[in-house]
Amino acid sequence: MSEKTSIEAYHTQTIEQVAKHFDTHLENGLSTTDVPARHSHYGFNELSADGGPAWVKVMIGQLLDVMNWIFIALAVASYCLADYITGSLLLFIALLNLYLGFSQEYAAEQTLAALRSLSSPTAQVIRDGVEQTIPSREIVPGDILLVKEGDSAGADARLIYVSNLEADEALLTGESVPVAKQLVVLEKPDEPLGDRINMLYSSTIISKGRGQAIVTSTGMHTEIGKVASKLNDANDSDRTRLQKSLDKMYVLLLVASVICVIIVLAAVKFKPDYDTGMYAMTAALSVLPAGLTTVMTVTLVLGGKEMTRQKAIVRKLKCLETLGSVTNIFSDKTGTLTMAKMVVVRFWTPLEGYFYVEPNGLAPKGDVYSTRDRLCDKISDDVHAQLVDKSNLSHEIGHLVQCAALCNMSSIYPREEEEMDEKKKDPLAETESDDWIASGAPTEVALQVFAHKFDMGKPQLLANGWELLAEYQFDSTIKRMSTICLEKNTGLVYVFTKGAAERVIELCNNLPTEKERQDVLQNVNQLASKGLRVMGMSYRKLDLPADVTAEELMQGSRDDVERDLIFLGLTGIYDPPRKESRQAVSEAHRAGISVHMLTGDHEITATAIAKEINILHKNLSAHDLQRLVMTGTAFDAMTDEAIDALEDLPLVVARCSPETKVKMIQASARRNNIAAMTGDGVNDSPSLRIADVGIAMGKNGSDVAKQASDIILTDDNFATIIRAIAEGRRIYQNMQRFLLYYWILLFSLALVVLVCLAVRDPSGRSAAPMSTLQMIFIYVAITPPAGALSTQPASKTVMKEPPRPPTESIFNREIIMDTVAYSVGMAIVCLVAFFVPLYTLGDGVGGINCDSHYVVGACDSFYRGRTSLLVSFTFSSLVVMVHCRSYRNTEWNLEGIRETLHNSTFVGTFIFDIVTLCIFIYVPQVAIEGFRMLAITWEWGLDWGLILFMVLYGEAFKWVKRTFLKPMDSGAVDDEEYDLHHAA
């Protein structure tokens, strides 16, 4: 191996020279034992510019946080007023807030970087003669890289095999037209990148075809690495609408704090002294939400981390907020609503009728029965079924099986003995199917297994003299694919074509009349009505010489090849729905979400599956079915005006093309719906980008689809989408909960501070109801409960409530009502706690400037009133935290109390409050000189009575809401009601 991985002109070298240079095998690839040494030699395949979160950037962001500077400014003001204890504590709070903010946000950035790495591209390589899927960063020079349509090239590589391969290299060259790749040797070492048609370059997109290549450069040695440029999803635009709203609210609260200071100063005609300065400082602190934005960021990131555990990787944080508003899900069928474990269970030929094939997963074993014109649900129900002798097939069936095997790019092979031994240890591995591994599209795998059951799989046919010459890939617009094959034993060249039956029969000359074509389509409908995906199979002999080359074949017209075909028959492929799909669809309906299935299947097949998983009700009338089920062709032919005039958007669209998906998303947007769209192919990327939430498939999705998406499903499961929506709703609910908690406490404090402007000392100056240190203590005491609310489990009704309107303000009606009601209740509790000792022990504030000069006797009632207020506020805030767990449900019943006592944050905060308050209250020097308060006695009874009042007040308020307001889960519907209304 040479170290020269980037300066060699590999495009000027032959394939054999490149293979020798990297000591690799063209068919078997590298040995896995060689890979670690190559990693050490070349490094990992990643750009150094993408090295994770920068702590400096996070620190600068925290230093720019206005809240920290306000604390520092207040600390300076305290020093100026010679209050060194308060000043030092404020400075400590500023540094602590800076440290906590930095540590939490940096940890969040690291978590986010880890989440992004989970969604990074993978690559297919050949190692030890076996196709493997590995993370792109593990590619090494010398790997045999496999690429197909929709892939992002994982590294720079020299092509060794191409089939209609085209690559979009606009990222490097700026040329928007894809480059057709060829296996040629170029002469000029300095050939422009765009003209190096025998090379692939990292991060370019495969727009068509498939190919194999020897990796020549990785990481910073690639062409893209030289300019240190890579598609990177991390940018400042990934801020949610709620985060942006909070930024604005932050500014408004800062303005409010300034206004509070002005009001306090105005009360003394702008002639402040120490006590007035402390009052102004207390007023400013009463409306400042320290740490609010950090808690918000951490909540979102932890939510993303939780969704990863739920098998949904979040690529963009802002989609977490949008998920709670989703009204419509547009989902693929295969692999998402179904298991993608396809198996051929039926086939039909014009001369011999229907056949039943015993399913056995991937295992190529199973008997075949002839049932003629009968299509029973179970073979056991057909007493006249005859076992087929596979060694004596008719000419027609033989060609049909050959078509299934050769017009096919998939493969199946048995597991290694070691893997089989491991599988046998697994109690869940019950079938022979687990002894086989498949590579390729699920439909093609099913057909390959079908051919293997006749001992006519692709490997057997190739060994017996067949050779694949060229391939016309599956095209979603014409819904078919073809291969051109040579039978060496006879020297004859054939074309095999498979695809949607209605598209294939149009090309067949042995079905010349409309009646014959309709007879075939009737059998298509019969198979589709059983929920089977139906494929038409055909072939013809080409008048070409045996030595024709692939290049000569590909220069011809595809239409000229795919004509005058001989129709062979139909195959019926069953893809069982996932067990959880029906329940997930029902859960979506209860949550007010409409589920739409967009599939490439036949209309009748799609309808059967949709009924099975409850997207369509089984008892719908023919009129409703016609209204709710449509083909992609019919939908595409409609104008926007005609679509908008539909009562509902169709729930099932069959024979759907990528353009249909885009049109459906646009139609949904015009109805002001919030749409989630699933996709896996390169052609799905436009619909994924314009959808409110784009969801890509992690297992079978293309790199392009993943890069266009907001979320990647690691299990390709529809039920995961529903769990993601539930998680999105939980995250938003929790953000509302802790914001509500903050607002209640801040507004109640502001009310108390402003009302107490009326409390004057003998000199006529206002006396602050709380000292600055008491306010700082409150900040410390309320922060853990706020954090606990941000990680609460979802409410019981979270998926029974209608989707949240996307334009709904965080200040919705419920939040505003709760903020006002609880703030008033808290203010009453605090004012009673303050005024009762103030006016029973004495006649108000008896001393002048009690904040700066404590006078025994004169200031006692004022100081004890402060203590009583602090105690009642501190513990009432814990009561409010419990109330905030639910808007309407009772939280102070036995079940709620049990949950509260099991909440470690609540218990820990309660113990912390008790211990610290006892120290601050009953150590005279700390109480008098630090917190400007005195020890209390009988006031404890008053305070606990007020705390109990807050419990009853909150429960009474919730009872009023439950009794007189519309239930919050009023959007919930059962499946029958859903099918009657068809919310679109």
Question: Looking at the annotation, which residues are catalytic?
Answer: 332
CA distances in angstroms from 881 to 68, 79, 339, 784, 901, listed in the order given: 25, 35, 44, 10, 13
Residue 833's Cβ-count burial label (10 Å; 0-12, 13-18, 19+) is buried
Is residue 356 within 8 Å of 345, Cβ to Cβ? yes
Q: What's the per-residue H, E or C state across 659-700?
A: HHHHHHHHHHHHCCCCEEEEECCHHHHHHHHHCCEEEEECCC
Angle formed by the axes of helices 55-63 and 84-118, to 10°? Answer: 140
Q: For residue 18, how many other CB atoms are within 10 A of its CB?
A: 24
3-state DSSP of 852-895: CCCCCCCCHHHHHHHHHHHHHHHHHHHHHHHHCCCCCCCCCCHH
SS3 496: strand
| Residue-by-residue DSSP string for 885-935 | T-SSS--SSHHHHHHHHT-HHHHHHHHHHHHHHHHHHHSHHIIIIIS----
Q: Which residues contact 819 (CB under 8 A, 6 or more apart)?
A: 740, 743, 744, 747
Nearest CA among 715, 874, 704 for reference residue 780: 874
The amino acid present at 464, given as its one-letter code, is N
Q: Which whole-number Å values give the CA distances from 523 to 66, 347, 358, in the listed order?
A: 72, 10, 20
The 3-state DSSP composition of the chain as helix, strand, coil percent (nearest 5) reads 50, 15, 35
Q: 711-713 and 693-697 as β-strands: parallel, antiparallel, unpaired?
A: parallel
The CA distance from 688 to 695, in Å, is: 7
Instruction: Give the C-alpha separation, 766 to 747, whole Å.
Output: 20
Q: For residue 208, what are the β-bridge partners?
A: 166
**Among residues 737, 647, 657, 620, which one has the least CA distance to residue 980?**
620
Helix (H, G, I), strand (E, B) or coil at 493: strand
Question: Bridge-partner residues for 653, per DSSP?
Answer: 598, 630
How far apart CA 932 and CA 860 sit, in angstroms, is 10
Residues facing 494 on adjacent strands = 485, 541
| CA gap 651, 657 in Å, rounded | 16
Task: Kindly report the number of other CB atoms within 10 A of residue 523's CB atom.
Answer: 21
| Three-state SS at 302 | helix
Give the Cα-Cα-Cα angle 193, 194, 195 (nearest 5 degrees).
90
Q: What's CA 934's distance to the chain center, in Å?
A: 55
CA distance 155 to 141: 9
HSE value, Cβ hemisphere, 13 Å, CA-based, for 672: 5
CA distance 516 to 289: 77
Burial 788-814 (b: 16+ CB within 10 A, else e): bbbbbeebebbbbbbbbebeeebeeee
